[in-house]
Amino acid sequence: MRPNGGNAQGPEVELGREYVALRPRLASWAKRTLGVSPPDFEDLHDEAWAEVLRRAQDGSEIRHLHGFLKGTIRNKWKMRRRSDRRHPTVSLDVGEAVWPETGAEEAVLSEQIELHEDLSLGLELLEAISNERRRQVLRLLYVCGLEPAEVRRVMGVSERTYRRLLEQAKAEIGKKLELVIQGRWCAIQRASLLACAQGSTDERQLSDLRRHLRRCPSCRQTLAEMRRANAGETRRRPAAAPLPQA
């Protein structure tokens, strides 16, 4: 797909509309075919679109956008699963589903994006924003690279609503970034790490932890230590007294 300069809406707006239109179809496909949870899909989807944007800026042609995104998401997921197998302390699930092999014709996501620390942190902070519409504003601005007027057209909101959403999103992500700068971002993950070590996390917590642990060796080590301590405590725990006989 090459941006069409003759479109009155502009190629960037068309990409933004494709981003919104294809998102639910890709989410359904990823869950059905790859077993990807909704929070994990957010990361994979945004990173795939970062590759689309990079290619659009380079003038590279993507003939079939939907197929390209599916191939990129699938290969990104495969690389993530391989990384989890190389670093067992990152794995948060008792069991892991098997994903299908990719076809040779599908695109492979750049290793540079896989390992890019700034992108990983940015996506982690973006997906930690609580409100979906605020997240969407930032995705369209910084993942799709749209201009403010284009974001408003894609989302169908007024300038006033757009500015409110953007200010709220930036304020929230700014507070989270300040925690990172102060070295406190990992500290607030501790409760989730402990819940994970004890096996009491929900799906959203698990996905948020995967996102964080992929780029944080310190917290991976903390989780491993918590698991060892929890296993030792379980072994030391006395057996329950037998029930009294009737």
pLDDT 10s digit of each residue in the chain, 246 long?
Answer: 444 444 445 566 677 788 888 888 999 998 888 888 887 888 888 888 888 888 877 778 888 888 889 988 988 888 877 766 555 444 444 333 333 343 333 333 333 333 345 667 777 888 888 888 998 898 888 777 788 898 898 889 999 999 999 999 989 988 888 888 788 888 888 888 888 888 887 777 787 888 888 778 888 888 888 988 888 776 666 655 454 444
User: Could you tell me the pTM of the whole model?
Assistant: 0.54
CA-wise closest residue to 193 among 218, 215, 217, 222: 222
Q: What is the pLDDT of residue 167?
A: 92
Kindly report the backbone phi and psi dihedral angles of residue 243, in degrees, each rounded to the nearest multiple of 5, phi listed first: -70, 140
Q: What is the pLDDT of residue 90?
A: 44
Per-residue confidence (pLDDT) for residue 235, from 0 to 100: 67
Long-range contacts, 190-196 (Cβ 8 Å, 24+):
190/222, 193/219, 193/222, 193/223, 193/226, 194/226, 196/92, 196/223, 196/226
Angle at 39 between CA 33 and CA 44, to 5 degrees: 60
- What secondary structure letter does DSSP report for 133? H
